[in-house]
Chain A
Amino acid sequence: AQRVTQPEKLLSVFKGAPVELKCNYSYSGSPELFWYVQYSRQRLQLLLRHISRESIKGFTADLNKGETSFHLKKPFAQEEDSAMYYCALDGKLTFGQGTILTVHP
Chain B
Amino acid sequence: ETGVTQTPRHLVMGMTNKKSLKCEQHLGHNAMYWYKQSAKKPLELMFVYSLEERVENNSVPSRFSPECPNSSHLFLHLHTLQPEDSALYLCASSQDAPSGANVLTFGAGSRLTVL
Contact = CB atoms under 8 A, between A and B. Distances in A.
Interface of A: 4, 30-32, 34, 43-46, 49, 51, 86, 90-98
Nearest to A49: B103
B99 A91 contact: yes
Interface residues of B, number: 21
B102 interface: yes
Contacts of B107: 43
Given A43-B108, A92-B48, A92-B56, A97 B42 contact: yes
B13 interface: no
B38 to A, nearest CB: 11
For the residues of A in contact with B, the DSSP-based class is loop
Contacts of A98: 42-43
Contacts of B45: 92-94
Interface string B25-60: 000000001000000011101001000000010000
B100 interface: yes
